[in-house]
């Protein structure tokens, strides 16, 4: 299965400093992004790029190369252009957080791209017109231009937060913690219902409504198998204590 993060392309157009390409690769990898696309860089990645990529040399090595932006965007359903100057073109303008949420949603079932311009001159109007929306980091209006790789870092971070915030995303589960299965969740909910009875939580109210609300809370938490084991351990202890309270003579 393709992760949503792998449907997100970071496209650098006409980059002038090879070091920035390396730093951008590092910024991406720290946030779980891998798809770097270079459009006509002024200088090809070199030793300086490698040095600044540090452990992200794999992202750099796998970077795609294109001669123009249009071909780099082939197959993308959603394209956002990052611009240091606000309201330069007649495109809807989003802040990084809004952009990241929209991209994370669109990446569920299609390829999407975040496009970054040249260090000196940014993106041309023609290039911006290939984008569906503009993204502006609301920086100091008197000094709003971030270093290219710093801008990539801000956007990559917001994309990661958006992906982590989607309870159903693979990213949220993390490696090695398989999401709890339907059966495991139902086992947990069954034990939770028994425990609520045992501790007299409902006090004559309808148990169904409390269970519906509790299910909603736990479903939002996207529990993995370990979480379910821990919660069931807590419930088992609560059940044991309730039995003891109901039968003070018992020692079990
Ligand atoms: N002098 C250029 C700045 C380019 S900075 C200009 O005025 O356009 C290089 C790239 O980093 C920009 O093209 C943009 O993609 C990104 N960037 C830098 N600062 C940004 C900001 N405040 N908001 C969004 N993107 C920014």
CATH of the domain at 75: 3.40.1280.10
Instruction: Mark which of 149, 172, 195 sits at the end of a domain.
Output: 172
- Tell me which residue has its CA closest to atom 11 in ligand 1: 148
The model's confidence at residue 173, banded by pLDDT at 50, 70 and 90, is low
- Would you say residue 250 has pLDDT above 70? no
User: Rounded to two decimals, what is the model's pTM?
Assistant: 0.72
**Residues 206-237: b if buried by 16+ CB within 10 A, e if exposed:** eeeeeeeeeeeebeeebbbeebbeebbeebee
| pLDDT per position as a tens digit, 83-94 | 998 766 788 999
pLDDT value of position 87: 64
Q: At what angle do helices 148-165 and 18-30 cross, to 10 degrees?
A: 20
| Nearest-atom index, ligand 1, CA of 144 | 22
Q: What share of the chain is helix, strand, coil (3-state, %, to 5)?
A: 50, 15, 35
Last residue of a domain, one of 110, 139, 172: 172
Same domain, 165 and 187: no
Integer angstrom CA distances of residue 141 from 34, 133, 215: 31, 20, 46
pLDDT of residue 227: 87
Mean of pLDDT values over 37-44 = 97
Co-location of 25 and 133 in the same domain: yes
Q: What percent of the chain has pLDDT over 90?
A: 67
Q: Is 177 within a domain?
A: no
Co-location of 190 and 162 in the same domain: no
pLDDT on residue 218:
79
User: What is the tally of helices (H) and strands (E) in the chain?
Assistant: 11, 7
Tens digit of each residue's pLDDT (9 = 90 or more) over 174-213: 556 677 767 787 888 898 999 999 999 988 888 888 888 8
Distance CA 22, CA 202 (A): 59
- Distance, CA 55 to ligand 1 centroid (Å)? 25
Asked whether 188 lines ligand 1 (CB < 6 A), one says no
* Domain stop point among 131, 154, 172: 172
Identify the bridge partners of residue 135 per DSSP, sorted by sequence position.
82, 94
Q: What is the dihedral of CA 49, 53, 56, 57, to 10 degrees?
A: 30
Mean pLDDT of 47-68: 97
66 and 141 in a single domain? The answer is yes
How many angstroms is it from 248 CA to the middle of ligand 1? 70
* Distance of CA 75 from the midpoint of ligand 1 (Å): 25
pLDDT of residue 169: 59
136 within ligand 1 shell (Cβ under 6 A): yes
**CATH number for 190:** 1.10.8.590
**Residue 187: domain span:** 182-246
Residue 217 falls inside a structural domain:
yes
Kindly report the average pLDDT of the chain as a whole number: 90
**241 plus 139 within the same structural domain:** no
pLDDT at 55: 95
Question: Using a 6 Å cutoff on CB, does residue 119 contact ligand 1?
Answer: yes
Helix axes 148-165, 96-106, angle to 10 degrees: 60
Q: Which atom of ligand 1 is nearest to the CA of 81?
A: 15
DSSP character at residue 13: E
């Amino acid at each position: 299965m393709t992760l949503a993060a792998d449907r997100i392309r970071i496209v650098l157009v006409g980059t002038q400093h090879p070091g920035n390409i390396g730093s951008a690769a590092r910024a991406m990898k720290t946030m779980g992004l891998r798809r770097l696309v270079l459009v006509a860089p002024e200088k090809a990645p070199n030793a300086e790029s490698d040095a600044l990529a540090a452990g992200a040399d794999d992202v750099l090595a796998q970077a795609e190369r294109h001669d123009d932006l249009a071909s780099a965007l082939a197959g993308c359903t959603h394209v956002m252009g990052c611009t240091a100057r606000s309201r330069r073109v007649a495109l809807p303008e989003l802040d990084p957080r809004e952009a990241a949420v929209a991209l994370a949603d669109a990446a569920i079932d299609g390829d999407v791209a975040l496009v970054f311009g040249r260090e000196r001159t940014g993106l041309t109007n023609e290039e911006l017109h290939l984008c569906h929306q503009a993204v502006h980091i609301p920086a100091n209006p008197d000094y709003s231009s971030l270093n290219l790789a710093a801008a990539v870092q801000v956007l990559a971070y917001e994309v990661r937060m958006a992906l982590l915030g989607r309870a159903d995303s693979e990213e949220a589960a993390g490696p090695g913690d398989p999401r709890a299965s339907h059966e495991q969740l139902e086992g947990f909910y069954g034990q939770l219902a028994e425990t609520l009875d045992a501790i007299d939580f409902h006090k004559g109210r309808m148990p169904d409504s409390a269970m519906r609300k509790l299910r909603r809370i736990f479903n939002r938490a996207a529990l993995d198998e370990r979480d379910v084991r821990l919660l069931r351990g807590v419930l088992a202890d609560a059940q044991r204590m309730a039995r003891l309270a109901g039968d003070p003579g018992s020692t079990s």
